[in-house]
Amino acid sequence: MTSARSNRRHVQINRRALLHGSAAAAGSFALMGYDAVAARQEATPVMSQSVGDFDVMEVTIADLRAGLDNGDFTIRELVQASLDQIAALDAEGPTLSAVSETNPAALDIADALDAELAEGNSRGPMHGIPILLKDNIATADGMENTAGSLAMEGAMPIRDAFVTELLVEAGAVIVGKANLSEWANIRSPRSTSGWSGRGGQVRNPHQTDRTPSGSSSGSAVAVAAGYVPVALGTETDGSIVSPANAIGVVGIKPTVGLTSRMGVIPISHHQDTVGSLARTVADAAAVLTVIAVPDPADPAVSSQANGNGATPVASPVASPVASGSGPSYPARPEGFSAIDYTAADILDADGLLGARIGVWRETTGYHPQTDDVFEEALAALAEAGAELVDPVVMPSFEEVSTSPDELFVLLWELNPGIAAYIEGYVDPEFPIRTLADVVAFNEAHPEEELLWFGQEFLIQSVEMSDLDDPEYAETVARTQRWGRETGIDAMLAEYGIDAIVSPTGQPAYKIDLITGDNWKGASSSASAIAGYPIVSVPAGSRFGLPLNLSFIGGAFSEPTLIRLAYAFEQATNARMTPALLAPMVIPPVT
């Protein structure tokens, strides 16, 4: 066992590379007219499939539901179109590498669901809708769950994750697993977002030499490129909203505990959450409606149902939960119940009218193009009827931005969390049982796993002290206080606002496997350590690269955030269809 003091000496700090890992270090491009740049690019022919009268790169769940219910096409035809789009763009053509594997049973599942519809039995809005799950969410259907690691190849889950069960019950067709940043980007401070030993490098469909960000890289790319209308991702800090920004799609990072983490390969049980990525707010909200069901096995739910206390040792999300002033999960409002996030009072095009929105300018200034699009978004919010409170200030912004404590928490929780997941969801005969086993595997296979970057964070997590170390609980409680009482909660109360807006991130930089990521800034960390939600929605673009706006709120404020994001989306229509452009060519200076 390593002492807490030794923990702090040993950990290498690179929070931005870890927590906001996207945009690579090959540098920015010269600021010139986009037409001049675009003229030097060659577009890859877009191999867009169609189903009925719909283009799969634009179709919504509502479109598909209507077509299926009207008999315009079958679920088999829809799933086949999804598989054909993956085949055309993933390993061929622009080789986006967004999918780790496709489901060999997908067409059989489609046939069974078609038979149900033929008998007049519909499971609801998601019946027959194709979806991809990030390759850290367990499915007991013959697909692996690897976190992108070659060490985990062959690790067939023995049961579904709770969110998987909910999707299957709702009639969704899981067509495959989405590639990701290996180990959800907690392997090394010098990692490259979107790369995994199993799946290779995910590419940005807007310009294929640009980062997809991460860690839910493949999930974001898959919906933008028309593989599926929706996908599941996970977020510890930025892993849904950052790729949503780089790819220009909608990302919903829910409150910790709104969706179950059981059956998900973890980083941190205090920060991990499962959310949705889609081309529209309505589609992302539709999936959230299905998966936002309390799971009694998840400590974020059970700790509130039974009082804060020790999580059972057998729980695949392992750790004690302190009471009083110690660590806690976001508190559910009294009387909280299941919500239809697609209800008319949430998906309201006039939802910005009269809303008081705080402008968080402390999260600007790291990239001029980001700031330009942010100003355009603020103007659009005001035009749509929002009252802007400009600026709002976070009392704990300095601590949230500079302290290494969040990273310490993640490394403390990673090692026991991985062991608990394997114990609960992987065949007992599978040889990898612990994070130390993963480290040893990587050391034995350096050409496959360690060629581009190391595994410093994995090693440091193995060497951290146990979760009964008092400093662990103190550190978690401190970071949560920064995110909540002196962070987001303080801003909402001080300014009397409904939500906070900030830029989600910067334009995507070039992929650079040698140097790694070079992220300039983001706004996800306060929500991450608080366990609070974010909705990121397309806001504009520069040089053909998307940029998003983040709506940030308090615990379980998803209805408000989705309402505001939907109204903004309807007012701006800012999402870009990917052009599948080749690498940008910069003309020489003359």
Q: What is the reported pLDDT for 585?
A: 60
- Residues annotated as catalytic are 134, 215, 239
Non-local CB neighbours of 324 within 8 Å, separated by 6+ positions: none
Amino acid of residue 7 = N
> What is the pLDDT, as a whole number, of residue 306?
40
pLDDT digits (tens, 9 = 90+) for 463-510: 999 999 999 999 999 999 999 999 999 999 999 999 999 999 999 999
pLDDT tens profile 89-143 = 999 999 999 999 999 999 999 999 999 999 999 999 999 999 999 999 999 999 9
Helical spans, DSSP H, in 292-404 = 299-305, 368-383, 397-402
Radius of gyration in angstroms for the set of CA atoms belonging to the chain, rounded to a whole number: 22
Q: Tokens 């088999």 map to which residue?
A: 76
Indicate the average pLDDT of the chain: 90
Q: What is the pLDDT of residue 322?
A: 37
Local confidence band at 315 (pLDDT 50, 70, 90 cut-offs): very low
**Position with higher pLDDT, 571 vs 583:** 571
Amino acid identity of residue 165, one-letter, is E
Which of the four pLDDT bands, split at 50, 70 and 90, describes residue 580? confident
Token duo for residue 424: 């609960």
Please, what's the b/e burial string for 85-114 (b: 16 or more CB within 10 A of its CB; e: otherwise)? bbbbbbeebbebbbbbbbbeebbebbeebb
Question: Could you report the per-residue pLDDT of 343-384, keeping only the tens digit for each?
Answer: 999 999 999 999 999 999 999 999 999 999 999 999 999 999
| Domain extents in the chain | 4-12+47-312+337-572
DSSP symbols for 68-96: HHHTSS-HHHHHHHHHHHHHHHTSSTT--
**Regarding predicted confidence, which is higher, 305 or 362?**
362
Q: Which CATH superfamily is domain 4-12+47-312+337-572 in?
A: Amidase signature (AS) domain (3.90.1300.10)
Does 282 score more than 90 pLDDT? yes
Q: Where is average pLDDT lowest: 170-184, 307-321, 428-442?
A: 307-321
Question: Cβ distance 95 to 194 under 8 Å?
Answer: no
pLDDT-derived band of residue 590, with 50, 70 and 90 as boundaries? low
Q: Which of 241, 149, 318 is nearest to 504 (CA)?
A: 241
Predicted pLDDT of residue 33 = 34
Q: What would the mean pLDDT of 209-215 be, rounded to a whole number? A: 98
